[in-house]
Amino acid sequence: MTPSDPDRHRVLKITTGPETLDDIHELLDDLWAACDVPELARIHTDLAAGEIGANIIEHAGGGNPVQLRMEVQLQPDGIHITFTDDGLPAQVDLTHTAMPDEMAERGRGLSIASRVLDELCYRRDSRGNHWTLFRRLDR
């Protein structure tokens, strides 16, 4: 299989709503069914993509739906995911992601994603918010 093989590439374009997290996980499940990916890499990627997706759904639109694009590429060395949305700027500092107090009901998503990924980046430009997730296959 080559890196450009269509079996190793998936794209989701959607207006966010109640089924968006299901759509994200279905896309990943489809990729896992088509390609041999180590179980721990799949679990970590599912977890991180779900956390970032949930944050976009909840915060990017300020209570309104946003246009979301998720692109997943299975590369020889890892899983690369980009999320792009046209929502409000995210107020995040990825250099200081820490778990909240154990009694807190919220606020763990970015910390969890940071811990299970090899790379988590956020940037904002004129097209919106861009999240980059990368998980190596060999760890």
CA distance 18 to 118: 29
Task: Report pLDDT for 108.
Answer: 62
pLDDT given for residue 137 in this prediction? 96
DSSP 3-69: TT-GGGEEEEEEE--TTHHHHHHHHHHHHHHHS---HHHHHHHHHHHHHHHHHIIIIITTTS--EEE
> 3 or 124: whose pLDDT is higher?
124
Alpha-carbon gap, residue 64 to 83, rounded angstroms: 17
Q: Given a cut of 60, is residue 55 above it in pLDDT?
A: yes
Q: How many CB atoms are closer than 10 A to CB 139?
A: 10
74 three-state secondary structure: strand
42: left (phi over 0), alpha (psi -120 to 50) or beta: alpha
At 82, is the pLDDT very low, low, confident or very high (cuts 50, 70, 90)?
Answer: very high
Would you kindly state where each structural domain of the chain is located, as residue ranges? 8-136
Q: Report the C-alpha gap between 132 and 113 in whole angstroms.
A: 11
pLDDT at 3 over 80: no
CA 7 to chain centre: 19
Tell me the one-letter amino acid at 112.
I
Work out the pLDDT band at 105, boundaries 50, 70, 90: very low
Query: What average pLDDT does this structure show over 66-91?
Result: 96
- Mean residue pLDDT of the chain comes to 89
Question: Model confidence at 18, in pLDDT bands (50, 70, 90)?
Answer: very high
Look up the pTM and report it: 0.86
| In this structure, CATH architecture of domain 8-136 | 2-Layer Sandwich (3.30)
- What does the pLDDT average to over 31-60? 96
120 CB contacts (<8 Å, ≥6 apart)? 48, 52, 94, 110, 113, 114, 131, 132, 133, 134
